[in-house]
């Protein structure tokens, strides 16, 4: 048997084969198992007491060796080829950190990690009910990743739970490395420009979604859980809003909606007004625009597109580059784009202001997929404005609305709670009522 295993895993140098005695051999992967646990649970008990005392021991068949070896079990092989697996999982996960992609001033500071059991624990610490159901699934031909579907049993989410489980069963891919693989596979069917599944690393947000009757998908080795169905407004208003009082929170919500409009339309609006509808600009401001654009060789549309692309590059490089070099990028960006480009007469200062405001507004939305959708529409609006002015913006806006209203997430309208109007959800997310 040992020879057989050796033969199968001949190119796996982390495979350890230890002969404890003439009768017993243990086999395990050093890379995923804890040597302390092997000593404590397997080696010592075998030597001194001739037994194994690990917390999780199971007799297995020959064809299950691969599965248990890869899942951090030590396989104990006796002389008569009886097989036994003991869990000696190495602690490979990092400690619980604070959320990086969804930071907040108020509220809990813990975030999910790559360890699915730890993540489940973080959620279960918050939701203590027998109605919290967890369904395990293994997805991925090579990765065999553990995927857990969590929901609170309610009459209203019965159908969507079934739908999600069916959809997960239909996924047929070679590997699940991150929850985004599942997210993409599930969203392939929804032909939409907007994300319909929201990833979150905040256990409080996940728990809140569960309470609301939504479904959460946890994926092993991924610090992001998936929340579905997610509506348009969910990507704008995070749950952390609930930790502050209603009036300041509503003010912030209004600012966010303003940011949404600015990030989508502002560059297009600038292009439309200065190229088509100059009468809408006050005379003194128009003169300022003219003076600032004096000497810029490119048409304003080209100028806007160049600046938008440069800022996208800057943002991408800022995300990808190690943070230690971040300062260098900031200086480079600020100096080259902010000052030198203006002095060189390549772009006008007003264009830099326009694009900067647009980008500052876009930073309000932390979800990457949502930002990507907004980016596509920003360019569409710009194109509409470049060809048809304010009328073009109106046309693209109508297209935007049509696309938004025709998007469905698990058979529910994406524009809930506005259309169809759901009062409870509306006052929870879009405009909070004062607590009495």
Partner 1 sequence: MKIKKLIIIFVILITTGCFNYVEINNLVIVSGIGIDYKDNKYVVTFENLYQNKESSDSNFATGITKTATGDTIANAFDNITLSLEKNPYYAHLKVVIISSEIANNHLDELFDFFLRNNDIRNIFSLVISKDITPQEIFNSSSKYYPVVSERIKNLLENNIYSNYISKNKYFKNIASNYLSGEKNITLSSIYKKDDELILGNLFVFDKKKVVGSLNQEQALILSIIDNNKPSSIIKVPCKIDSDKKLVIRIYESKTKFSIKKNEYKITNNLSAEIIENSCNINLENKESQKHITDNFEKEISNQTIDLINYLKIINSDILGINNKYFVKYRSKNSNYFKDKNFKVDTILNINKKGLIFEVKNDNE
What is d(CA 188, CA 152) in angstroms, rounded to the nearest whole number?
Answer: 26
Report the first-to-last Cα separation within the chain, whole angstroms.
71
Q: Given candidates 8, 177, 287, 313, which one binds partner 1 under the rule CB under 8 A?
A: 287
Nearer to partner 1, 276 or 370 (CB): 276
Q: Given candidates 275, 375, 399, 412, which one binds partner 1 under the rule CB under 8 A?
A: 275
Work out whether 118 is an interface residue with partner 1 (CB under 8 A).
Answer: no
Work out whether 331 is an interface residue with partner 1 (CB under 8 A).
Answer: no
Work out whether 391 is an interface residue with partner 1 (CB under 8 A).
Answer: yes
Nearer to partner 1, 275 or 317 (CB): 275
Cβ partners under 8 Å of residue 122, min gap 6: 96, 110, 112, 203
Work out whether 388 is an interface residue with partner 1 (CB under 8 A).
Answer: yes
What is d(CA 97, CA 419) in angstroms, rounded to the nearest whole number?
Answer: 38
Q: Given candidates 276, 311, 377, 429, which one binds partner 1 under the rule CB under 8 A?
A: 276
Q: Given candidates 395, 405, 418, 430, which one binds partner 1 under the rule CB under 8 A?
A: 395
The full DSSP string for 262-325 is: HHHHHHHHHHHHHHT-GGGS-HHHHHHHHHHHTT--S-HHHHHHHHHHHHHHHHHHHHHS-GGG
Nearer to partner 1, 24 or 305 (CB): 305
Cβ partners under 8 Å of residue 34, min gap 6: 88, 89, 90, 91
Work out whether 286 is an interface residue with partner 1 (CB under 8 A).
Answer: yes
Nearer to partner 1, 235 or 400 (CB): 400
Size of the site for partner 1 (CB under 8 A): 25
Work out whether 289 is an interface residue with partner 1 (CB under 8 A).
Answer: yes
User: In the range 220-259, which residues lie near partner 1 by CB under 8 A?
Assistant: none
What is d(CA 340, CA 288) in angstroms, rounded to the nearest whole number?
Answer: 20
Work out whether 274 is an interface residue with partner 1 (CB under 8 A).
Answer: yes
What is d(CA 194, CA 403) in angstroms, rounded to the nearest whole number?
Answer: 9
User: In the range 160-189, which residues lie near partner 1 by CB under 8 A?
Assistant: none
> Facing residues of 407 across strands?
none
DSSP-based helix, strand, coil % in the chain, nearest 5: 50, 15, 35
Give helix 300-320 / helix 246-275 axis angle, nearest 10°. Answer: 140
Q: How far is the CB of 395 from partner 1 (least distance, A)?
A: 7
Q: How far is the CB of 189 from partner 1 (least distance, A)?
A: 22
Q: Given candidates 47, 92, 290, 340, which one binds partner 1 under the rule CB under 8 A?
A: 290
Nearer to partner 1, 391 or 426 (CB): 391
Work out whether 343 is an interface residue with partner 1 (CB under 8 A).
Answer: no
Q: Which span (14-22, 108-116, 235-243, 295-303) binds partner 1, by CB under 8 A?
A: 295-303
Which of 177, 179, 183, 178 lies closest to 164, judged by CA? Answer: 183
What is d(CA 62, CA 413) in angstroms, rounded to the nearest whole number?
Answer: 50
Q: Given candidates 278, 368, 372, 406, which one binds partner 1 under the rule CB under 8 A?
A: 278
Cα angle: 293, vertex 299, 304; to 5 degrees: 85
Assess contact for 156 and 149: CB atoms under 8 A: no
Work out whether 11 is an interface residue with partner 1 (CB under 8 A).
Answer: no
Work out whether 399 is an interface residue with partner 1 (CB under 8 A).
Answer: no
Residues within the interface to partner 1 (CB under 8 A): 274-276, 278-279, 283-284, 286-291, 293-294, 296, 299-300, 386-389, 391-392, 395
């Amino acid at each position: 048997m040992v020879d057989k295993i050796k033969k199968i895993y001949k190119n796996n140098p982390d495979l350890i084969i230890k002969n404890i005695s003439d009768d017993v051999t243990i086999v395990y992967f050093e890379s995923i198992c804890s040597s302390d646990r092997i000593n404590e649970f397997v080696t010592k008990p075998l030597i001194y007491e001739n037994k194994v005392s690990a917390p999780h021991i199971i007799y297995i068949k020959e064809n299950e060796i691969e599965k248990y070896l890869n899942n951090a079990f030590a396989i104990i092989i006796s002389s008569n080829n009886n097989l036994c697996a003991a869990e000696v999982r190495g602690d490979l996960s990092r400690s619980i950190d604070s959320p990086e992609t969804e930071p907040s001033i108020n509220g809990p500071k813990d975030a999910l990690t790559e360890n699915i059991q730890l993540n489940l624990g973080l959620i279960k610490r918050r939701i203590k009910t027998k109605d919290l159901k967890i369904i395990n699934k293994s997805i991925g031909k090579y990765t065999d990743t553990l995927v857990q579907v969590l929901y609170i049993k309610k009459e209203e989410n019965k159908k969507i739970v079934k739908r999600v489980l069916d959809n997960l069963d239909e996924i047929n891919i070679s590997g699940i490395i991150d929850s985004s693989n599942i997210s993409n596979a599930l969203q392939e069917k929804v032909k939409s420009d907007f994300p319909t599944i929201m990833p979150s690393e905040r256990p409080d947000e996940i728990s809140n979604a569960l309470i609301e009757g939504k479904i959460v998908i946890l994926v092993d080795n991924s610090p992001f859980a998936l929340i579905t169905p997610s509506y348009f407004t969910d990507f704008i208003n995070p749950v952390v809003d609930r930790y502050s009082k209603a009036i300041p929170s509503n003010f912030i919500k209004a600012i966010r909606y303003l940011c949404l409009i600015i990030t989508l339309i502002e560059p297009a609006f600038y292009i439309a007004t200065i190229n088509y509808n100059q009468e809408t600009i006050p005379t003194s401001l128009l003169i300022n625009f003219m003076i600032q654009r004096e000497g810029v060789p490119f048409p304003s549309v080209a100028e806007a597109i160049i600046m938008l692309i440069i800022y996208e590059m800057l943002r991408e490089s800022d995300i990808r580059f190690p943070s230690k070099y971040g300062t260098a990028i900031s200086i480079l960006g600020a100096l080259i784009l902010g000052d030198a480009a203006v002095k060189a007469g390549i772009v006008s200062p007003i264009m830099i202001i326009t694009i900067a405001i647009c980008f500052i507004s876009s930073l309000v939305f932390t979800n990457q997929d949502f930002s990507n959708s907004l980016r596509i529409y920003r360019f569409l609006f710009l194109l509409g404005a470049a060809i048809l002015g304010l009328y073009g913006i109106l046309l693209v806006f109508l297209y935007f609305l049509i696309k938004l209203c025709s998007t469905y997430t698990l058979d529910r309208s994406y524009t809930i709670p506005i259309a169809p109007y759901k009062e409870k959800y509306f006052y929870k997310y879009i405009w909070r009522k004062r607590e009495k």
